[in-house]
Amino acid sequence: MEYFEITGGTPLHGSITLQGSKNAALPLMAASILHPGRTTLHHVPAIRDVDVMIEILENIGCTVQKDNGTLIIDAAKAEHFEVAASLGERMRSTIILLGSMLGRAGRAKMPFPGGCIIGMRPIDIHITSLGKMGAVFEETDGMLCAVTDGLYGTRIHLRFPSVGATENVILAAVYARGRTRIENCAKEPEIAELCRFLREKGAKIEGEGTSCILVEGVSHLRDSTYTLMPDRIVAGTYLFAAAATRGEICLEGMRPSDMESVLDVLGRMGAVYENREDGFYLDGRKAINPLPVVCTETYPGFPTDLQSQLLATLCVARGRSVIRECIFEERFRIAPWLNRMGADVTTDGREAVIEGKAHLSGQMVKAQELRGGAALVIAALMAQGITRVYGSAFIERGYEDLAGDLRKLGAVISKKKAER
């Protein structure tokens, strides 16, 4: 097993360029199979989830060329619209292929996503919504199977603004007969990115960024080239790392307009920031204030994908903080590891109470999921002594080169392989 070894206590300083967005790359790659032609994507992050998605596309019959952050996907010969169970186990986002497969071929087969360590991710919203558009579902040998003799536009009201369900309905609606109206849809920047990408290919979509998206079905799409947005969760991770270590950093390529709730929290903690010509600057030297209550919410609220990183940062705030997790029910799994490092975190269901300490101490800890793993790295950066964060593979699902980026900012971190 590989791990990150980190010597803490060094404030982060310097400038780095942000990677492309994981949560935009995967839906755009899924969308590429709608068009029996070529899609070129730039600024694609070199992460494990992208590599798994490439394998899935190749198994479907696509050809994929990968070169220094650029993917060229040719879906002309895509014909095997099934995701193998072995690939589904390696990536949680395979469900995003459902809408594209139904739109392109009228059929789809894939493993159920089930639950993961941060909580269940039910797909009933996906199935109900696509069912209203003419898809029929059944379970066969533990696989989700869907068929349709033609999708049609209709009014879809999502009972919860699910990002994945919003993406799937949009993708299914591109070729559906007539107009699809999606109400109570997700407003995340990655949804807007998908809509912009599809418009570049010839889709007729409007309303992204609002609670209602309209899609007018078209008969065909075209070849296109698109550059992905920066990853706002990676940006937030580095901003919290700077605040936790009382450092100063500049992030090139960050879009502050996508991160207003995150910046509000950092400002309340005492950080100072501004958007400059050379990037987004944050001074975390006085980011010591506790936070009475922070609740995770759907966008534009505080993102659940940054809750763990905030939790780690608040472990050394001067006073009591409270975090309420309103999206996933099991996202405080890092609390025992933080307490092992000297933190004082008490959890009760969806609420965590953090009593700030003067410092943390280096220990051996283990990442159990992507964002919690990144939070443990933040804790290690501000701890006294050496920390080993095992389970680096989880972190590499979403971070292109976490250790490399942090070294550029002055951190003492290296990736090593455990001796057997």
Q: What residues are labeled active site? A: 116
Whole-angstrom Cα distance, residue 294 to residue 311? 10
Buried b / exposed e over 111-134, threshold 16 CB at 10 Å, is bebeeeebbebebebbbebbebbb
Return the beta strands (E) in 269-343 as ranges.
272-276, 279-283, 294-295, 320-324
What torsion, rounded to 10 degrees, do the Cα atoms 198, 200, 203, 208 define? 60
Strands lying side by side in the sheet with 155-157:
155-157, 179-183, 212-216, 204-206
Whole-angstrom Cα distance, residue 188 to residue 299? 5
Whole-angstrom Cα distance, residue 410 to residue 14? 7
3-state secondary structure of 266: helix
Report how far Cα 237 is from the mean position of its chain's Cα atoms. Answer: 12
Report how far Cα 325 is from the mean position of its chain's Cα atoms. Answer: 17
Q: What are the residues facing 350 on neighbouring strands?
A: none
3-state secondary structure of 204: strand
Whole-angstrom Cα distance, residue 293 to residue 352? 10
Whole-angstrom Cα distance, residue 52 to residue 76? 20
Whole-angstrom Cα distance, residue 186 to residue 15? 32
Phi, then psi, of 61 in degrees rounded to 5: 125, 0
Whole-angstrom Cα distance, residue 258 to residue 232? 7
